[in-house]
Amino acid sequence: MFLPLIIGNWKLHGNKKIIKSYFTDLCSKLKLMNLHVEIAIAPPMVYLELAMRYLNQNITLCAQNVDTNISGAFTGETSIRMLKDIGVKYVIIGHSERRLYHKESNHNIAKKFALIKEASLIPVLCIGENEQEYAIGQSEYICHQQLDSIINFVGIESFYDSIIAYEPIWAIGTGRHANPLQVQKIHQSIRYHIARYDENVAKQLRIQYGGSVNEENISQFLRQSDVSGALIGSACLKTDTFINIIKNTEAIKK
Ligand code: PGA
């Protein structure tokens, strides 16, 4: 079985000085703990390599995005080969902020998923409904639809050793996290949905929850049987808070 996975997404924050002191502090404190938690951190692209210099075996690197192309005339982009080259393990795709602000379509996200798998890295595929869809009870339907568009493109086998992050858009950065029991229900429905394609893939699937997770509420999510870990935004930016999240994760024995 997999260890619980905690992913910290820095989004558009930080500078060289902050990255250096954050990783130095985090790694030295974590080194003293005998952890049964996997930790991945996604600093901004430009700081991935800097962060890499401070990592120890407890922490792996995650990228916040990747391009749909491998190489060529694509100004401003980062390819999966480059991420692999510098030692990245996970790549977040389909985050709602990219879907919204960068108009990323399911087709686009599916292409990224395929490239990540081809490179033997691990996609962290974000899915989730918006406020309006939530209000009319369409959460499961939206998640299934988003999944189907990826499965139809890459095939269900590609979901082996891939990660899904259920992130209701209305819970991201709002301080209004989803109800843990409701999260369990959605995660279970995601697993059932995948099982319709392939039961073995469904069984091993890691499903993260994301949306206003913090040190106080993390335990409630991790107690749910279909929650494998969390994708954390603002609460990962301070080492003390992030370490408390990790300690609380460690305390939940599944
Ligand atoms: P948040 O962000 O923890 O700040 O709500 C989560 C995310 O965007 O993945």
pLDDT, averaged across the chain: 96
Catalytic residue among 97, 104, 129, 167: 167
Query: In the predicted model, what is the mean pLDDT of residues 103-118?
Result: 97
Closest CA to 106 of 122, 128, 88: 128
Closest CA to 170 of 209, 113, 226, 132: 132
- Angle (CA) 118 186 238, round 5°: 70
Query: In the predicted model, what is the mean pLDDT of residues 141-170?
Result: 98
Please tell me the residue having the least CA distance from ligand 1 atom 3.
233
Residues in CB range of 134: below 8 A, 6 or more apart: 168, 170
Query: In the predicted model, what is the mean pLDDT of residues 191-213?
Result: 98
Please tell me the distance between residue 186's alpha carbon and the centre of ligand 1 in angstroms: 18
Predicted TM-score of the model (pTM):
0.97
Contact between 111 and 150 under an 8 Å Cβ cutoff? The reply is no
254, pLDDT greater than 80: no
Closest CA to 110 of 58, 50, 68, 166: 68
Answer yes or no: 95 catalytic: yes
Answer yes or no: 107 catalytic: no
Report all structural domains of the chain as residue ranges with CATH numbers, in order of start: 5-250 (3.20.20.70)
247, pLDDT greater than 90: yes
Query: In the predicted model, what is the mean pLDDT of residues 71-96?
Result: 97
Contact between 90 and 7 under an 8 Å Cβ cutoff? The reply is yes
pLDDT of residue 6: 97
Kindly report, residue by residue over 38-75, the tens digit of the pLDDT. 999 999 999 999 999 988 777 999 999 999 999 999 99
Length of the chain equals 254
pLDDT of residue 214: 98
Pocket test for ligand 1, best of 212, 236, 241 (most atoms within 8 A of CB): 212
Phi then psi dihedrals of residue 186, to 5 deg: -70, -45
Please tell me the residue having the least CA distance from ligand 1 atom 2.
233
Please tell me the distance between residue 69's alpha carbon and the centre of ligand 1 in angstroms: 27
